[in-house]
Amino acid sequence: MKPAAFDYLRPSSRREACERLHEAGDDARLIAGGQSLMAVLNMRLAQPKWLIDIAGIEDLHYIERRDDHLAVGAGVTQAELLEYLGLAEAVPLLAQAMPWIGHWQTRNRGTVCGSIAHADPSAELPLCLATLGGEVVLENRRGKSRRVLARDFFQGVLTTDRRQDELITEVRFPLARPDAEYRFQEVAMRHGDFAIVALAGVVDSDRVVLGVGGVADRPVCRELARHEDPGEALNTLAWSLGAEDDAHATAAYRRQLIRELGRQLIAGGPGDEEIAHARQG
């Protein structure tokens, strides 16, 4: 299919983009890389009258390591973040998760903030941001900014806390702590497909922060005690997420993946290569 007719705008500043959003109201959609939005438009699941392209706004294109976080501007592609020198040391969870995002062709166009804004429950970047306790920074047409914790920003399937006249200017991933380990595991039908289940974890001496994607309507994070048998806690978590049968997996299979991958993540294995070959069975 082809998208319905729309008018195309290419603002040169953040303020102009927010003004256009305010003027058009619900009839406008933002686009940067378009790797998620264009599929939605082609299927006519959304039919905006205005498409506002922010890819040309120069001051949205940056990756900055600051005191306690890595700031990624709204113009940065997923490929650029993956190639950022020092990513594995600064935010090791991202370094593990990024290769799972689509394929290199889509990562070359898709933006980091675009994935956050799209809020697909199966997407890796929202899961990582929520698990790490990261933030989304938004700016409105008056130039005022606000910061929202990722766990509050995601409000359901493709639903966020972004207001109509707001633009995501950057997302902030907390820097790695020296006393913690960061682990990511995913099972998909094929590498690069949507996650059937994805798990992200921050493991320190006495606790585990476990994030689960691909099951509920948004990333879900829970804190578990490190030195207790995780079986009961993982089983409770698996049942609490309301998994449903779909064309990719049964609810029972998703619950079992949460239990098994959760145990492996907490224990520190298996390695990425072994997980990459995991398939639904």
Q: Which domains occur in the chain, in start order?
A: 7-53 (3.30.43.10), 58-174 (3.30.465.10), 181-276 (3.30.390.50)
197 Cβ neighbours under 8 A, 6+ residues apart: 186, 187, 212, 213, 214, 215, 249, 254, 257, 258, 261
| Count of CB atoms situated within 10 Å of the CB of 217 | 15
Cα(52)–Cα(82) distance, integer angstroms: 26
Could you identify the residue written with the tokens 């953040």? 14
81 Cβ neighbours under 8 A, 6+ residues apart: 63, 72, 87, 94, 98, 112
pLDDT for the residue numbered 207: 92
pLDDT for the residue numbered 272: 42
The separation between the first and the last C-alpha atoms of the chain, rounded to the nearest angstrom, is 33
The closest alpha carbon to 36, from 94, 139, 123, 96, belongs to 123
Written as tens digits, the pLDDT of the chain (281 aa) is: 789 999 999 999 999 999 999 999 889 999 999 888 888 889 898 899 999 999 999 999 999 999 999 999 999 999 999 999 999 999 999 999 999 999 888 999 999 999 999 999 999 999 999 999 999 999 999 999 999 999 999 999 999 999 999 999 999 999 999 999 999 999 999 888 889 999 999 999 889 999 999 999 999 999 998 877 889 999 999 999 999 999 999 999 999 999 999 999 998 854 444 433 333 33
Coil, helix or strand for 111?
Answer: strand
Token couple for 58 = 């120069």
Cα(206)–Cα(209) distance, integer angstroms: 10
The closest alpha carbon to 219, from 139, 104, 115, belongs to 115
Most distant CA atoms of the chain, gap in Å? 58
pTM: 0.93
Instruction: Decide: 115 and 78 in contact? Cβ < 8 Å.
Output: yes
Cα(208)–Cα(205) distance, integer angstroms: 8
Query: Alpha carbon of 147 to those of 63, 118, 191, 242, 275: distances in Å?
Result: 18, 18, 33, 29, 35
Coil, helix or strand for 151?
Answer: helix
Token couple for 261 = 């991958």
pLDDT for the residue numbered 280: 36
Token couple for 96 = 């593990």
